[in-house]
Amino acid sequence: AMLNRLHPPRPDWYEEFYASVMNSSMKSYEAEVAGYKSQLFDNLRGKAKKVLEIGIGTGPNLKYYAADTDVQVLGVDPNRKMEKYAQTAAVAAGLPLTNFKFLQAVGEAIPVSDASVDAVVGTLVLCSVKDVDMTLQEVRRVLKPGGIYLFVEHVAAKDGTFLKFWQNVVDPLQQIVSDGCHLTRQTGNNISEAGFSSVELGNAFLSNASLISPHVYGIAHK
């Protein structure tokens, strides 16, 4: 019910088209952000045995942490068409499909038990959820005590800048063509105020990312 309310069913052709585009169009972005992700995901190696990734999409992050032989990965995404791409990425990353499970769900209602995962991963997902704060509370709920949340998110540019002006102009169209993606959210503030015991937050500006160039990335501890 929550899935249908927050992410109403799209036509099957649209879900497939969007998944295919995401699988093929993000290579230059992933190449530029790779350094930040490598540094961040090193925190999982040998430490997190059960990882949940919200907005797993086509699985571009799996190569950073799925090589650990006994890691179990739950991938959450509202678009069922992402599953086959994520499975392919899992296999390419050395993760047996017996250790990977795709869950069609939204971040605001993650269908796993309280305090059941060692780490939550989320990259470029809080831009498109309906309720950022509800999603972050779900992240805290599913994490074990001492668990970590790793994030990389694009955010609004600084007020008064030309980039912020264009983000405001394009934002309504962006939400339509990019499955609910918002350009002007202050996501770093949401994460900092979500009730984690500590948050390590950095800022980055990606030259190849145009309207989504400003990023925040880091680690939040439960």
Summarised one tens digit per residue, pLDDT across range 193-207 is 999 999 999 999 998
Q: What percentage of the chain carries pLDDT values higher than 70?
A: 100
d(CA 193, CA 172): 26
* Geometric angle at alpha carbon 84, from 116 and 130, rounded to 5°: 60
| Residue-wise pLDDT tens digits, 44-87 | 988 899 999 999 999 999 999 887 778 999 999 999 999 999 99
Are the C-beta atoms of residues 167 and 157 closer than 8 Å to each other? yes
Strand order through the sheet with 117-123: 100-104, 72-77, 50-54, 117-123, 143-154, 214-221, 198-205
| Length of the chain, in residues | 222
| Averaged pLDDT, 208-214 | 85
Cβ atoms of 75 and 101 within 8 Å: the answer is yes
Query: How many other C-beta atoms can be found within 10 angstroms of the C-beta atom of residue 6?
Result: 19
What does R_g of the chain's alpha carbons equal in angstroms? 16
- The count of other CB atoms within 10 Å of the CB of residue 192 is 15
Report which of 92, 88, 46 is spatially closest to residue 71, judged by C-alpha positions.
Answer: 46
- Using DSSP's 3-state secondary structure scheme, residue 29 falls into helix
Helix axes 82-92, 12-25, angle to 10 degrees: 30
Q: Domain 2-221 is classified in which CATH homologous superfamily?
A: Vaccinia Virus protein VP39 (3.40.50.150)
Asked whether residue 6 carries a pLDDT value surpassing 90, the answer given is no
Domain ranges of the chain: 2-221
Copy the structure tokens of residue 138.
């779900």
Q: Within the chain, where are the H helices? A: 2-6, 12-25, 27-41, 62-65, 82-92, 132-142, 162-177, 187-192
pLDDT, the chain, mean: 93
Q: Does the pLDDT at position 208 exceed 90?
A: no
Tell me the average pLDDT across 137-145.
98
Q: How far apart are CA 33 and CA 208, in angstroms?
A: 10
145-199 pLDDT, tens digit per residue, is 999 999 999 999 999 999 999 999 999 998 988 888 999 999 999 999 999 999 9
Both structure tokens of 96: 């047996």
d(CA 62, CA 58): 9
